[in-house]
A and B are shown apart, each in its own frame.
Chain A
Amino acid sequence: MHFKRKLISTAAILALSAGAAHAQISGNVIKIGVLNDQSGTYADLAGPGSTLAAKMAVEDFKAANKGFTTPIEVIAADHQNKPDVGSQIARKWYDSDGVDVIVDVPTSSVALAVNQVTKEKGKALIVSTGASSDLTGKACSPNTVHWTYDTWQLANGTGSAIVKTGGDTWFFLTADYAFGHALERDTEAVVIKNGGKVLGKVRHPFPTADFSSFLLQAQASKAKIIGLANAGADTTNAIKQAAEFGIVKGGQNLAGLLVFLTDVHALGLEKAQGLIFTESFYWDLNDQTRAWSKRYGAQIGGKMPSMGQAGVYAGVLHYLKAVAALKSDDGTKVVAKMKELPTDDPLFGKGSIRADGRKIHTSYLFEVKKPSESKGPWDYYKVRATVPADQAFRPMAEGGCPLVAAK
């Protein structure tokens, strides 16, 4: 073992003398592993689209940094939304496949598991589609950046905006597992803090295909807002059936607490219209997001990116900038460098990464357009409110992140 290590360091010294650019790059290649759901419930909002986004980031980085000659590779794997599968792949990637950074990781439980493995191995993790705000709270790590959004941001953005515009009585439809409970808890706190009331809640099994009975209970509560503390197919089914039972026509409104562009696409505007929710990104925000999204769409059958996929692009781009600035791919050092460098990319604009790993940027409250307002395919959102970067996320002191407390 000792001899082997010596051999490696000798090799490293040789490499060092061979070319300065390759100085600290392990295996002389930067390997980016996209770890997400490639085939199940979350495959459309993350999946192969995230892999493409990572590849586009590499392309753009290379085009802008012609002097950076180290090869960059992107690989992908399917964690099937299972924490054990996810951490197993992460270990294999880090130990024997020479992966330097893992990106995306939807499904909070998997993201938290990979977070732990990455810390152990001293590598780097950029979470984009994973939701839990614990990643920058009590589970925060010097090796992790949480890029796109989190549960606190969703609860806060959507909850307070709705209460302030008159939606002061709530009824929750909550997926009966950790993620749903957390989202419900955070949103309830925000509703009450802003002077609203929670009239009732019902916990539905995960997953549920038929929401009619839960919707009837929500309807009977006479609450102005029905908060959907669930995700993916549960959310789309609930919305679809709410339309059928005339809930929105009857004067109640739905608040999707976690909705992706792909969900709206699957629902169609007829069913999704009027829905209000928080996201960090939409393809049609400005010229830069439009240009990038058109390029993305051209390579994936005309689909527009979800905020998770956009976050993968921006996160990988920033990671590569940090590697180039540092001339090293040592996970811990690169993440520290990422926090030091201001972020700037075409999708999220200028921003920064806090000491707890939270990426800070503007957050948007969107409303889904009426079919008559939509000009064409994928023209779905209008911006209802913009939450400035410094208010969009949980204040660092409230997260309970040990990295911050130590300072």
Chain B
Amino acid sequence: MTEIFGKPLPVILGQTLIGLINGSFYALLSLGLAVIFGLLNIINFTHGAQYMMGAFAAYFLLNKLGVNYWWALLVAPLAVGVTGMVIERLMLSRLYKLDHLYGLLLTFGLALIIQGVFRQEFGSTGLPYSIPESLSGGQNLGFMFLPNYRAWVIAASLFTCLATWFVIERTKLGAYLRAATENPAMVQAFGVNVPRMITLTYGFGVALAALAGVMAAPIYQVNPLMGADTIIVVFAVVVIGGMGSIMGAVVTGFGLGIIEGLTKVFYPEASNTVIFVIMAIVLMIRPQGLFGSR
């Protein structure tokens, strides 16, 4: 059997693929954060809670209203996105003139409140959510058993990330958005409703988090604290990629997923810390992040 550094090749291939799957979640979540930071200059600490709300929304749609997974992929992000827009209108919009720190504190506090309320209501153990019938089962790839659902996660995440990048970097709407962050007054003068655009952007970023939540629901427990655990890693991903860089978030998301996966083969005990070690190194060598411009 072929071996690399004393580990059989099939194991390495398997872990790389699994890393890619985890990377899909990192990419989707960090993408939302990057969009929000890039266009609103808000460090959205509520992101983890909104990811969790997406998973819960999927659970309720299925169990209370009989709405299946596929519709939940559409409905849950919309619903959670609307709550995000309400938050932006009522609270965040009052903070744009102030220091970053205020936005950070507000969103962090909101995250704690939302998680606390969910925990109070639904307990801490979590709720079950099954993989949709059409995606259960899996393929034997020779070197590993790949569940169909995980393959779908990679595909869906890649598509969403690339589509988002395309819209922001290559379309007219994206050009407005980028212009509005550079010089809101000027864009307003051209007749574009900047505040509304910002609200919609925040809603979109939040919807991305909720989408990741729906996709995570069948894999992880639907648990009030699921976002709190993930968000820290995702912030590290965003910092490594460069705050606000869309492509940076996507590439580092997938890349770090793979590195984390390989760490699990060679030294499993370090798999939770490896991302932070990389973050420390990147910050020392290139403080603006791998893809950051400033």
In the assembled complex, the Cα of A51 lies from the Cα of B78 at a distance in Å of 40
| Chain B, residue nearest A176 (CB) | B269
Q: Which segment of B121-129, B173-181, B283-291 sits at the interface?
A: B121-129
B119 vs chain A, min Cβ distance (A)? 6
A44 with B18, Cβ < 8 A, contacts A213-B265, A237-B221 known: no
Q: Does chain B have a CB within 8 A of A85?
A: no
Q: Does chain B have a CB within 8 A of A217?
A: yes
A205 near B220: Cβ-Cβ < 8 Å: no
In this complex, the interface size class of chain A, counting residues with CB under 8 Å from chain B, is 35 or more
Q: Does chain A have a CB within 8 A of B223?
A: yes
Residues of chain B in range 254-280 having any CB-CB distance to chain A below 8 Å: 261, 264-265, 268-269, 271-272
Binding site for B on A (CB under 8 A): 39-45, 176, 202-205, 207-210, 212-214, 216-217, 219-220, 232-233, 236-237, 240-241, 244-246, 250, 262-263, 265-268, 270-271
Interface size on B, residues (CB 8 A): 41
In the assembled complex, the Cα of A228 lies from the Cα of B127 at a distance in Å of 20
| Inter-chain contacts of B11 with A (CB < 8 A) | 216-217, 220
A222 vs chain B, min Cβ distance (A)? 13
Q: Does chain A have a CB within 8 A of B50?
A: no
Q: Does chain A have a CB within 8 A of B21?
A: yes
| Chain A, residue nearest B129 (CB) | A268
List 9 A-B pairs, minimum CB-CB distance, nearest first. Answer: A268-B128, A205-B272, A213-B264, A266-B125, A44-B125, A44-B123, A43-B124, A212-B18, A244-B147
B63 vs chain A, min Cβ distance (A)? 11
A209 near B123: Cβ-Cβ < 8 Å: no
In the assembled complex, the Cα of A217 lies from the Cα of B11 at a distance in Å of 8
A232 with B125, Cβ < 8 A, contacts A209-B229, A216-B18 known: yes
Q: Does chain A have a CB within 8 A of B219?
A: yes
Sample 21 A-B pairs with CB under 8 A, ordered by A number: A40-B124, A43-B119, A44-B124, A44-B125, A45-B125, A202-B268, A209-B229, A212-B150, A213-B14, A213-B261, A216-B15, A236-B221, A240-B220, A240-B221, A245-B138, A245-B145, A245-B147, A246-B137, A265-B125, A267-B128, A268-B128
B125 near A262: Cβ-Cβ < 8 Å: yes
A201 vs chain B, min Cβ distance (A)? 10
| Chain A, residue nearest B120 (CB) | A39
A233 near B221: Cβ-Cβ < 8 Å: yes
A268 near B18: Cβ-Cβ < 8 Å: no
A240 near B125: Cβ-Cβ < 8 Å: no
A208 near B272: Cβ-Cβ < 8 Å: yes
In the assembled complex, the Cα of A40 lies from the Cα of B14 at a distance in Å of 34
| Chain A, residue nearest B272 (CB) | A205
Contact of A205 among B18, B230, B265, B269 (CB under 8 A): B269
A209 with B261, Cβ < 8 A, contacts A240-B220, A262-B125, A267-B128 known: no
